[in-house]
């Protein structure tokens, strides 16, 4: 899905999330485990206010496991519970329910003390485009999509998905925008496939990716493109990759656009292994 984030669209997206906030006990904030910072909405804290939340580091199968652990500690240090999940394979689904129960222990105990009948936890997924919201909903839903009727206080009936006996999920996720004005964030979003290629210059994005690999995963870069050493000049690196991979124009010159495309494709399709593009920055 291509979404144009005009100011009006952002305001509408925000309103839609805000309206549904009162229906749920907890927010599942879905982020990409490879870029947990860049795939967050910049206004998320303001939007969800004090609503309890669980951060879900999705696509953890494509991220560096050690770095993902660091992110979990990072969120933990801020008093935010985070879990690494893989919605495609269904890893971490049980933990979502148990973590939600844990986060809401006090709230539900208070409700019980007031004589409110025990009920399932109500949750809503929010996240930027392509982060895996639908995949997670389908994974959690299995075959349990059920209309649970009108929710008091809202005119439009909300569709809830039952996840076992203990959790109910709103069937429509909240779509939020990323911090796309930032060039670096934009490159990371493009490298992970979160934003469409046409928005950014492909060569710039691939240069960002190559420089990142050179710094963080040099061995994988060398192996993938059979390089003895990594050339300092980016043009030389493009030339070497182009020649080895046959990304040439009709006259035999290296086609830089093709090189850029193949590098981005390789990164997105895990040809360079699981990658984490950012580490937590304490004191942010």
Does 61 carry a binding-site annotation?
Answer: yes
Q: Report the b/e string of 47-83 with b at 16+ CB within 10 A.
A: bbeeebbbbbbbbbbbbbeebbeebbebbeeeeebbb
Q: Is 84 in the site for ligand GTP (CB under 6 A)?
A: no
Nearer to ligand GTP, 31 or 254 (CB): 31
Among 96, 175, 247, 263, interactor with ligand GTP by CB under 6 A: 175
Please check whether residue 48 is in contact with residue 74, taking contact to mean a CB–CB distance below 8 angstroms: no
Does 150 carry a binding-site annotation?
Answer: no
Please check whether residue 87 is in contact with residue 173, taking contact to mean a CB–CB distance below 8 angstroms: no
Only one of the segments 17-25, 56-64, 71-79, 164-172 lies at the binding site for ligand GTP (rule: CB under 6 A); that segment is 56-64
Q: Is 87 in the site for ligand GTP (CB under 6 A)?
A: yes
CB of 27 to ligand GTP, least distance (A): 15
Does 206 carry a binding-site annotation?
Answer: no
Q: Is 16 in the site for ligand GTP (CB under 6 A)?
A: no
Q: Is 129 in the site for ligand GTP (CB under 6 A)?
A: yes
Tell me the residue number closest to ligand GTP, measured at CB: 132
Which of 132, 36, 129 has the alpha carbon at shortest distance from 91? Answer: 132
CB of 242 to ligand GTP, least distance (A): 28
Only one of the segments 69-77, 112-120, 129-137, 239-247 lies at the binding site for ligand GTP (rule: CB under 6 A); that segment is 129-137
Among 86, 100, 187, 276, interactor with ligand GTP by CB under 6 A: 86
Does 132 carry a binding-site annotation?
Answer: yes
Nearer to ligand GTP, 129 or 242 (CB): 129
Q: Is 57 in the site for ligand GTP (CB under 6 A)?
A: no
Q: Is 190 in the site for ligand GTP (CB under 6 A)?
A: no
Does 143 carry a binding-site annotation?
Answer: no
How far, in Å, CA of 188 to CA of 265, rounded? 13
* Total number of residues that touch ligand GTP (CB under 6 A): 17
Q: Is 58 in the site for ligand GTP (CB under 6 A)?
A: yes
Backbone torsions φ then ψ of 215, nearest 5 degrees? -80, -45
Does 134 carry a binding-site annotation?
Answer: yes
Binding site for ligand GTP (CB under 6 A): 1, 58-59, 61-62, 86-88, 127, 129-135, 175
Binding-site residue set: 58-61, 86-87, 130-135, 174
């Amino acid at each position: 899905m291509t979404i144009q984030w005009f100011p009006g669209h952002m305001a509408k997206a925000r309103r839609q999330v805000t309206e549904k906030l009162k229906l749920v006990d907890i927010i599942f904030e879905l982020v990409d485990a490879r870029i947990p910072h860049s795939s967050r909405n910049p206004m998320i804290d303001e939007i969800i206010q004090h609503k309890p939340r669980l951060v879900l580091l999705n696509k953890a199968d494509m991220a560096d496991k050690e770095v993902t652990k660091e992110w979990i500690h990072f969120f933990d240090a801020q008093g935010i519970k985070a879990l690494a999940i893989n919605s495609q394979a269904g890893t971490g689904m049980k933990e979502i329910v148990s973590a939600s129960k844990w986060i809401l222990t006090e709230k539900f105990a208070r409700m019980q003390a007031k004589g409110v009948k025990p009920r399932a936890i109500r949750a809503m997924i929010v996240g930027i485009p392509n982060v895996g919201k639908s995949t997670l909903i389908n994974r959690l839903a299995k075959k349990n999509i059920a209309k649970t009727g009108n929710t008091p206080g809202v005119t439009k009936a909300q569709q809830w998905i039952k996840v076992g006996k203990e959790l109910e999920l709103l069937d429509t996720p909240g779509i939020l925008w990323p911090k796309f004005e930032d060039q670096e964030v934009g490159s990371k979003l493009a490298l992970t496939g979160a934003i469409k290629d046409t928005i950014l210059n492909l060569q710039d994005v691939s240069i960002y990716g190559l420089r990142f690999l050179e710094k963080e995963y040099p061995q994988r870069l060398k192996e993938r493109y059979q390089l003895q050493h990594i050339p300092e000049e980016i043009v030389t690196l493009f030339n070497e990759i182009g020649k080895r991979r046959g990304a040439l124009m009709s006259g035999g010159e290296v086609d830089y656009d093709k090189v850029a495309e193949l590098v981005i494709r390789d990164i997105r399709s895990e040809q360079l292994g699981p990658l984490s593009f950012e580490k937590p920055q304490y004191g942010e």
